[in-house]
Amino acid sequence: MISHISHLECPQCRRKHSADNLATYCVCGSPLFVVYDMSGVREEIDTEVFPSEMNSMWRYSQLLPVKSPSYVVSLGEGWTPLLLSRQLGKHLGLRMLRIKDEAQNPTGSFKDRGLCVAISKSLELGAKSFGLPSAGNAAVSTSAYSAAAGVSAHIFMPDDTPEPFFEQCTLFGAEIVRVKGTISEAGQEMRKRNGDWTDLSTTKEPYRVEGKKTLGFEISEQMGWSVPDVIICPTGGGTAIIGIWKAFEELEALGLIGSERPRLYAAQSGGCAPVVRAIEKGTDNLEPWVNGDTTALGLRVPSPFAGREILNAIRKSGGGAVAVADQDIAPIRRMVGKLEGLDICPESAVGIAGLRNLIESGAIDFDEEVILLNTGNGARYTNIKL
Ligand SMILES: Cc1ncc(COP(=O)(O)O)c(C=O)c1O
Ligand SMILES: [Zn+2]
């Protein structure tokens, strides 16, 4: 099955851009989104909904940007299980909770989805090597997919990132630069060096969101083409929450679902919560969070580039944003380990603490269908004592 990609479009100024060249973001400063020829996809899925024998996110290749399958660098990403919580949901006071277990991706996190698509599409458009500032998991994904593609990866990570992240990037043959500060400073350092790599920074190119979008497709397909009431998204740079929102828009355009949407809740650490602050203040833009810090390293994103799009997804879905204390992370990881047999990452522990707060405040009802993203495996986070 072939991609029905049409062009790129700016969600702010509505300028159209070609999808035939390597692209970054719009001249107005906004991220760009991929637009597909939906009527073409609709005709195809009249006869066959996505191929059930394909146990990866490439079952949705009509709605992914890569035109020639020969450029797809797959390690078997996506189509992760939607686990029924045996005990955690009840413990939190929910009738039923499901966990989309993204730790089961090839390198252990949901970053594989976005980077698999971005790397494959960029190779199709002529990229020869990749550069990325990262909090950890995205670096491991980029290193692995670059290795599989036979091209070089240049990774810029905060120097306090736990060693297992560096070790895995090294194992996959990446060049690594350690930078003082957060992912923001890592990005500045990467731009200063001005290498001839293709920049894969979060939402500064259009294709990582496309990979993350498959999370929304899978959740809906695994629920028999329906939608849950709530999805809890640990949010840093925002690719998942933006991608999931886009997924449901596309599924409606295809007639696979109606106008119903899950409420999307962004969960952040109180130590770095620019999204929560903007939702509380009602602003259209995110203000950078000064001296942001949290042990949930993927959420240590003081100034997400796609702020407007994150806020748009949350508000249009009728959801919200919730900040929690870092002290909750270790106890919650221990609790989930005991109750579910899962070694969740600290970002997902933030999601669970957020869910608990939302249940306590009455924002989420006991009877609602809630899906929690376990965005990655906890084992690499040696910065947290369990
Ligand atoms: C495990 C984990 N969860 C969540 C996030 C936040 O991701 P997003 O860009 O979708 O907001 C990250 C980002 O680094 C991560 O590594
Ligand atoms: Zn624009």
85 alpha carbon – ligand 1 mean position (Å):
22
Q: Are 168 and 194 in contact (CB under 8 A)?
A: no
Residue 222 and residue 278 in one domain: yes
Whether 338 and 220 share a structural domain: yes
Neighbours of ion ligand 2 (CB under 5 A): 10, 12-13, 15, 26, 28, 30
pLDDT confidence of residue 261: 98
Q: What pTM did the predictor assign?
A: 0.98
- In-domain check, residue 385: no
Which ligand is nearest the CA of 15, by number?
2
Are residues 384 and 295 in contact, defined by beta-carbon separation less than 8 angstroms? yes
Q: At what angle do helices 38-47 and 239-253 cross, to 10 degrees?
A: 70
Task: Let me know: does 244 contact 215? Beta carbons within 8 Å.
Answer: yes
pLDDT, residue 320, reads 98
Q: Determine the Cα–Cα distance for residues 220 and 88; give it in Å rounded to an integer.
A: 22
Q: Provide the CATH number for the domain around residue 138.
A: 3.40.50.1100
pLDDT at site 250: 98
Atom 13 of ligand 1, residue of closest alpha carbon: 298
Residue matched to tokens 């998991």: 137
159 lies in the same domain as 284: no
- Domain check: are 123 and 180 in the same one? yes
pLDDT at 51: 87
Does one domain contain both 222 and 319? yes
Q: Between vectors from CA 289 to CA 350 and to CA 119, what angle results, nearest 5°?
A: 70
Same structural domain for residues 215 and 274?
yes
**129's tokens:** 């090597």
* The pLDDT of residue 313: 98
d(CA 168, CA 52): 32
Sheet holding 5-9, edge to edge: 16-17, 5-9, 33-36
In a domain, residue 381? The reply is no
* Residue type for position 98: R
Domain boundary among 19, 51, 71: 71
The C-alpha atoms of residue 110 and residue 296 are separated, in whole angstroms, by 15
Six token digits for residue 342:
């899962």
CA-angle at 146, arms to 236 and 195, nearest 5°:
80
Task: For residue 296, give its domain range.
Answer: 82-108+207-374
> What's the total number of domains in the chain?
3
Select from 71, 91, 123 the last residue of a domain.
Answer: 71
Q: Point out which residues pair with 56 in neighbouring strands.
A: none
Enumerate residues lining ligand 1, CB below 6 A.
109, 111, 135, 137-138, 202, 234-240, 298, 345, 347, 375-376
Instruction: Specify whether 115 is located in the same domain as 134.
Output: yes
CA 73, CA 321: separation in Å to the nearest integer? 35
In a domain, 386, yes or no: no
- Tell whether 182 and 311 lie within a shared domain: no
Assess whether 212 and 182 both reside in one domain. Answer: no
34: which strand partners?
Answer: 8
Tens-digit pLDDT string for the chain (386 aa): 799 999 999 999 999 999 999 999 999 999 999 999 999 999 988 777 898 889 999 999 999 999 999 999 999 999 999 999 999 999 999 999 999 999 999 999 999 999 999 999 999 999 999 999 999 999 999 999 999 999 999 999 999 999 999 999 999 999 999 999 999 999 999 999 999 999 999 999 999 999 999 999 999 999 999 999 999 999 999 999 999 999 999 999 999 999 999 999 999 999 999 999 999 999 999 999 999 999 999 999 999 999 999 999 999 999 999 999 999 999 999 999 999 999 999 999 999 999 999 999 999 999 999 999 999 999 999 999 99
**284 and 298 share a domain?**
yes
Residues with Cβ within 8 Å of 172's Cβ and at least 6 positions away in sequence, in order, are 140, 143, 144, 146, 147, 153
> Does residue 183 lie in a domain region?
yes
Atom 5 (ligand 1): residue with closest C-alpha?
A: 298
Joined tokens for residue 289 = 């969070």
Do residues 86 and 118 share a domain? Answer: no
